[in-house]
Amino acid sequence: MFRLLGSLLLVTAAGAVAIGAAPAPRAAATPLDRVIPAPASVDAGGSPYRITDSTRIRVDGSREARRVGEYLADVLRPSTGYRLPVTTYGSGGIQLRIGKGSFGAEGYRLDSGRKGVTITAAGPSGLFHGVQTLRQLLPAAVEKDSVQPGPWLIAGGTIKDTPRYGWRGAMLDVSRHFFTVDQVKRYIDQLALYKINKLHLHLSDDQGWRIAIDSWPRLATYGGSTQVGGGPGGYYTKADYKEIVRYAGSRHLEVVPEMDMPGHTNAALASYAELNCDGVAPPLYTGTEVGFSSLCVDKEITYDFVEDVVRELAAITPGRYLHIGGDEAHSTSHADYVKFMDRVQPIVAKYGKTVVGWHQLTGANPSRGALAQYWGLDSTSAEEKAQVAAAARNGTGLILSPADRIYLDMKYDANTPLGLSWAGYVEVQRSYDWDPGDYLAGAPASAIRGVEAPLWSETITKSADIEYMAFPRLAGVAELGWSPPSTHDWDGYKVRLAAQGARWDALGIQYYRSPQVPW
C-alpha cells in the first residue's frame, strides 16, 4: 500500500517537474521579413498585435478604403470566427488609411504594435497590397474557410514598401485551352496575394478565338468552338469579359487583352474566308504547331477587321494597354510584317490604347511609347538581343519574360507530367536566380518596365494544372518584380518560399513540391 502510494507520488512529482521544466511553447508571430515579395524596408521590434473577437477594421471616410476593409474582413472572418466590423469610428484594431506619403501609387507603410496595426498608403492599390502583406504575417490557417483555433498574432514593427517595377504580370493563355470566368477569377485571387498587378489574357490564336466581337460574330461562335485536342472550346461574351475586368480591378489587377496577329490567326481565318489571300477558309485547327497562319497583309478588309476588333475590345477594356502579339509570324514576309505593324499600331492609338507586342515588334517600327515583351532565351542570338536592346535605347519599354526563366508552362524537370520543354527545364531556383535590371545586355535599366510570367496552355486543361505549373515559380517572379535587388538571395528566399506551402495547402492550391525547397 505504501509502495503504491509512494510510486504515485513519484509519478506525480515527475509530472510536475516535467511540466515546470518544459512549459508549452508560446505561439510566435511570423517575422516581418518572412513575406513574399520581400518588403523594401523592415524595422522589426515591439509587442505583436493580437486579433480578437473585439477587433474592428477601422477605415477612413473614403469609398476605396472601405472596399479594401471589406475585402480584408471577408478574408479573416471565416477562419477567425470573429465579426470584425468595418467602421470609420474609434481607434486601435486594424486601421486602413489613404493619405499623403512617399509611397507611390502602389506602396504602403505597415505599423504594428500591441494596440493595433495601421496600414497607410497614398492610394487604394497600395492599401490593398499592404493588406496582402498583413495576410502573410498571420498564420497560414487564416486562409481556411472554417473556424480555426488561432491565436492570430501580427509581429510588432514597421514595414515601408514600394515596388521596384510598375509592371508585374502574369499571362494566361485561354486560346489553346479555354478557361471559364470562375477559373480565371480563381487565378486572379492567387495572383493578388503576391502583388501581381497585370493579367495578360491571350484571347486569340490558331486553336481558338475567345472574345465575342459583334461586327464579326463567327470569330467566337465558330472560331471559338474548339481547342487543342478537339475539345468544345468556348468564348467570353462581352458581359463575361467585363466581369473578369471588374473582378481583376477589385483585386487591383489591370487586364491586358491580347489579339495575336498577323500570325497565330487560324481561328479567325477559318471563321471568315475573306481574310485569306486566296479567299478560301482553312479548317479549324486543334494541333500545337506554330507559324503557319497569317492575315492577308495586302487586303484592305484585313485592316477593317483589325479596326473593328480593336474598337470593340478597347471599348470594354478600361486599362491602358492592348497587346497585338506579333510573334512567330513565320508565314509573313519581313516586308509584309513591317507593313502590317505600320498600319495596325496607329489603329490601337486611335482608340486610346498603348501598344504592347512580343519582342519581334522591335524588328518593325515600334510606335512611340510602345512596349515590347521579350521572350527569348539565355541562348538567343546576340543579333536578336541587340535588336531589342537598340529599340530600348530608342524609347521602347521592355517587359521581360525570358522563356527559359519564367515561362510557367516549361517543365520543372524530365518527370514533370505537364508542360513543354522546348526552352529547357525550369526549376524553381532557375526561375528566381536572375536580375531583370541587367538581364538584357545593352538595354538601359530605365527601359525595363517589369516582368511577366506567361502560362501557355497546350497541356493545361484545368485549374489544378494552372496551379501546379504556376506555384511555386510565380511567387519568385512576383518578388523579382516588386522587391529591391538587395533582397534577392536564393538561400534566404527558399526558406521564405517553403513557409508559403502551408498557406497554399490552406487555400487548396495544387503546387509542385520542388526538391530544391525545404518544405
**Contacts of residue 90, Cβ cutoff 8 Å, sequence gap at least 6:** 56, 58
Report the amino acid identity of residue 394.
Answer: N
Q: Is 328 a catalytic residue?
A: yes
φ/ψ bin of 340: left (φ > 0), alpha (ψ from -120 to 50), beta (otherwise): alpha
- Helix, strand, coil abundance in the chain, percent, nearest 5: 40, 15, 45
Residue 442 CB neighbours (<10 A): 13
- DSSP secondary structure, 425-490, as one string: ---HHHHHS--GGGSSTTS-GGGEEEEEEEE--SS--SHHHHHHHHTTHHHHHHHHHHS-GGG--H
Sign of the dihedral through C-alpha 54, 60, 62, 67:
negative
Joined together, the cell numbers standing for residue 329 give: 509570324
Strands 198-202 and 152-154: unpaired
Of the candidates 328, 383, 384, 467, the residue annotated as catalytic is: 328
Joined together, the cell numbers standing for residue 512 give: 509542385
Up-side HSE of residue 396: CA atoms within 13 Å toward CB? 28
Report the amino acid identity of residue 59.
Answer: V
Up-side HSE of residue 519: CA atoms within 13 Å toward CB? 13
Residues with active-site annotation = 328
